[in-house]
Amino acid sequence: MKLLFIVHVFFPNIGGSSRIYYEICNRLSPDEVYVLTQKRPAGCKEETIGWKEFDAKQKFKIYRIGRLRSRITGSGKAPNMLVSLCRFVFYDLPIGIYVMLTASYIIVKERIEVVCLENPDYLGWVSLLVKYVFGRKTVFYLFGEELTASSGSRFFERPRFFYLSRADGLIAISEFTKSVLDARGLGHKTTLIYPGIDANPVADEAVKEDIISKYGLAGKKILLSIGRFERHKGIDNVIRALSLVKEKIPNIVYLIGGEGPEEANLRKLTEDLKMGGIVKFLGQVSGEEMASCYGLCDIFILANRQLKDGTVDGFGMVFIEAGSMGKPVIGGRAGGVPEAIIDKETGILVDGEDVNDIERAVLRLFGDPEFAGMLGDNGKKRAAGFGWNEVVEKFKKVCRAL
What spatial distance separates the first Cα and last Cα of the chain, rounded to whole Å?
11
- Whether the CB-CB separation of 142 and 177 falls below 8 Å is answered with yes
Q: What is the pLDDT along the chain (402 residues), one digit of tens a residue?
A: 999 999 998 998 877 899 999 999 999 999 999 999 999 876 677 888 899 999 999 999 999 999 887 654 444 455 567 776 777 777 778 888 899 999 999 999 999 999 999 999 888 989 999 999 999 999 999 999 889 887 555 555 568 999 999 999 999 999 999 999 999 999 999 999 999 988 778 888 899 999 999 999 999 999 999 998 999 999 999 999 999 999 999 999 999 999 888 999 999 999 999 999 999 999 988 777 889 999 999 999 999 999 998 899 999 999 999 999 999 999 999 999 999 999 999 999 999 999 999 999 999 999 999 999 999 999 999 999 999 999 999 999 999 999
Domains of the chain: 3-196+387-401 (3.40.50.2000), 205-383 (3.40.50.2000)
Angle between helices 263-272 and 235-245 (to 10 degrees): 20
DSSP code of residue 387:
B
Q: What b/e string do you get for 128-164 counting C-beta neighbours within 10 Å, with b at 16 or more?
A: bbbbeeeebbbbbbbbbbbbbbbbbbbbbbebbbebb
Cα distance between residue 54 and residue 43, in whole Å: 21
Using DSSP's 3-state secondary structure scheme, residue 196 falls into coil
Distance from C-alpha of 7 to C-alpha of 107, rounded to nearest angstrom: 15
pLDDT of residue 203: 85
- For residues 133 and 94, the answer to whether their CB atoms sit within 8 Å is no
Task: Please tell me the pTM assigned to this model.
Answer: 0.86
Cα-Cα-Cα-Cα dihedral sign, residues 392, 395, 397, 402: negative
Rounded distance between C-alpha atoms, residue 263 and residue 231, angstroms: 10
How high is the pLDDT of residue 75? 46
| Whether 144 contacts 336, CB under 8 Å | yes
Instruction: Give residue 152's pLDDT.
Output: 57
